Amino acid sequence: MATILKPDDVQQKYGKLFCRGVYTMVDEKNGVAQIIEECSAKGPVEWDAVNRTRAKGVLQDIKVEGTTLIMNARIGEEEVRFGPASKDLGGQGLKALRVDGDTVRTTWVGLAGASVGIGACLPQGPGTIEAIYPDDAKVGGAHRIEVTIVTPKLVRVILAVDDTDTKEKGASWALMLRIARACDIGHMLEHKIVQLNPNVPEKTTNCVSVGVSFAVAEKDVQRLIDFFVERLRKETFSQQTTLAVFIGLKVPKEVAEYGLQAKSVIFKKEQAKEVADRNGVRLIEVTGSRGTIGAVAGIGCFDMGLKAAGLPEDF
C-alpha cells in the first residue's frame, strides 16, 4: 500500500520547509531530463549536490548556481550507491525518472537526516503535484525512505534574437530580459548575452545576440513563442529582427560549432538557415531576416557558460 500526499498535506505533516520550486524538463528524443530545484539556502543545495553525485543512480551531473540545483539525468532506473554513507552519515540519491503521460515521476532514496530533504522538503515545493510514500514512511533519525515525486512534464524552450536595435536606439539584451520577465507562460530559466564577431559590418555597437530559456508544458510552447513574436514586433527598433527557437535539452553539435565560429567568422544568412534547417531550429522573421545569423548563434552558444559572453581570445 502507498500513501499519496499533496504539497499542502506534506507541509501540514512536516512543517513548512525550504524548497522554493521544482521543475522537471524532459527530452525524450535524447533520453534525458533536467530537474531544477530552487532552495532558500545554499547549505542544503551544496550538501545535496555532493551526496546525490556520490549516489549516482540516474543522475549524470549536477551544477549549483546560488541556491539552485541543476540536475541532469537520464530517463530510466538504476540503484543508488551511497558509498561511505551510512545511517550515521546519511545520503540521498535519484533512483528513477520516468515519463508518465503529461507528468514525470522521480523516485528518490534518502538515509537519516538526508531523508528530510527528499521526504519532506522537495515534495512540498511549488511545482510538485503529489508525492507517493510507503505507508510506514518516516524521515530523519536513522530512517531510510523511498518517495516518488510527481511533477508536470515540461520541455525547455530557448528563444534567441538578433538585430533589434539601431545605432541610435535600443539594446537587445535589455529588450529580451524585459519581455521574458513580463511573460507568465511557463517558468523563465536563463537569460544569456552572446558575444559575436565585433568586425561584422552591420553591427550596432557590441554585436551580440540574446537568448532566454523557459521550462514550459508542451501544450503551451506555441503560446510562448507567439508572446515573444508579438512583443518583439511591437518593441524592436529594427526592420531586420529574427527570432530562433529550439526545443530540447541538448543543443545539436553543429549548431554549437556554428555559434562558436560566429564569434570570429562573418557568415551569410543562407549559411545560418542551412544550419538551422538541418538541426530543428525554427526561424521566425519578426520584421526581417538579417538577424538570422546571430539568432542561430544565440541558440548555439546558449549552454556554453562564460564562453557565450566572450570571444575566442578570452579563453
Residue 169: pLDDT band by 50, 70, 90 thresholds? low
Q: Output DSSP code: residue 269.
A: H
Q: Output DSSP code: residue 118.
A: I
Same domain, 15 and 70: yes
215: left (phi over 0), alpha (psi -120 to 50) or beta: beta
The whole-number average pLDDT for the span 159-176 is 82
Q: What is the pLDDT of residue 166?
A: 59
Q: Which residue, of 109, 126, 153, is where some domain finishes? A: 153
Same domain, 179 and 136: no
The string of pLDDT tens digits covering residues 266-308 is 999 999 999 999 999 999 999 999 999 999 999 999 999 999 9
Does residue 86 register a pLDDT over 60? no
pTM attached to this predicted model: 0.93
Torsion from C-alpha of 186, 190, 195, 196, nearest 10 degrees: -30
Give CA–CA dist 92/112, Å, rounded: 9
CATH number at residue 212: 3.30.70.2200
Structural domain harbouring 310: 163-314
Q: Which residue, of 107, 135, 153, is where some domain finishes? A: 153
> Cα–chain-centroid distance for residue 134?
31
Number of Cβ within 10 Å of residue 11's Cβ equals: 17
Give CA–CA dist 295/61, Å, rounded: 28
Same domain, 118 and 172: no
Q: At what angle do helices 269-278 and 292-300 cross, to 10 degrees?
A: 40
The string of pLDDT tens digits covering residues 101-141 is 999 999 999 887 677 888 889 999 999 999 999 887 777 66
Tell me how long the chain is: 315
- φ/ψ of 37, rounded to 5, equals -120, 115
Q: What is the mean pLDDT of the chain?
A: 91
Q: Which residue, of 98, 122, 153, is where some domain finishes? A: 153
Question: Number of folded domains in the chain?
Answer: 2
**Residues 6 or more apart whose Cβ sits within 8 Å of residue 177:** 191, 210, 212
Residue with cell 558575444: 195
23 in any annotated domain: yes
Same domain, 168 and 305: yes
Does residue 236 register a pLDDT over 70? yes
